[in-house]
Amino acid sequence: MAMAMAMASKLLLVLALLVAASTTEAKIPKRTNIQFYMHDIVGGPKPTAVRVAGRPGNFSSPDPIAAMFGSIFVMDNPLTVSPDPNSTVIGRAQGIYAMSSQKDEFSLLMTLTYEFISGRHNGSSFSVVGRNPVMREVREMPIVGGTGVFRLARGYCFARTYSMEQINAVIGYNVTVLHD
């Protein structure tokens, strides 16, 4: 009799746990797709990306990949709705990138936050950490987090160079974010 009661109370406990588990089931994340253009101005009187550390050498050195290896840049690049730099600015990409390949191809480690300052996502941001082999036609970088509407973000961006003038570039972004 005592044993039967102990078993019954164990059964009740298991049932209670099952009910508790089913009420905390995961929310389905929202999925947002965003497209914009980033303006990376390294040369000229008003650069948006500046080299803050590195060894002597530059992009015109005989072996530019080796010469630029170890260089660190801080950037604050505008994000616009179209490739025209004078089109509406919807945000800014701010952070640090480092020249992280010694040979074969230029590759950067990107550590950036993309913050929106107008439009639907105003005040929200997502963050990117990843490898960016800049000379490739399409680069994919992971989204590792976010704020505001992009809280708990994960996702990926495709970056394509739209145009290049000397070392200044316009980069098209196609972003997919899963978020809270």
Ligand X SMILES: *[C@@H]1O[C@H](CO)[C@@H](O)[C@H](O)[C@H]1NC(C)=O
| Sites of contact with ligand X (CB under 6 A) | 57-58, 60-61, 84-86, 118, 122-123, 174, 176
Q: Pairing state of beta strands 72-80 and 89-99?
A: antiparallel
- If the CB atoms of residues 2 and 171 are measured against ligand X, the closer one turns out to be 171
- If the CB atoms of residues 9 and 58 are measured against ligand X, the closer one turns out to be 58
CB of 102 to ligand X, least distance (A): 17
Q: Pairing state of beta strands 108-116 and 125-132?
A: antiparallel
- If the CB atoms of residues 94 and 174 are measured against ligand X, the closer one turns out to be 174
CB of 56 to ligand X, least distance (A): 8
Q: Which of 95, 103, 46 is nearest to 72 (CA)?
A: 95
Q: Decide if 156 contacts 141 (C-beta within 8 A).
A: yes
Q: In whole angstroms, give the CA distance from residue 59 to residue 110.
A: 19
- If the CB atoms of residues 10 and 55 are measured against ligand X, the closer one turns out to be 55
**Partner residues linked to 101 by β-bridges:** none
Q: Decide if 98 contacts 109 (C-beta within 8 A).
A: yes
CB of 55 to ligand X, least distance (A): 11
Q: Decide if 127 contacts 145 (C-beta within 8 A).
A: yes
CB of 16 to ligand X, least distance (A): 43
Q: Which residue type is seen at 100?
A: S
CB of 18 to ligand X, least distance (A): 37
- If the CB atoms of residues 44 and 123 are measured against ligand X, the closer one turns out to be 123
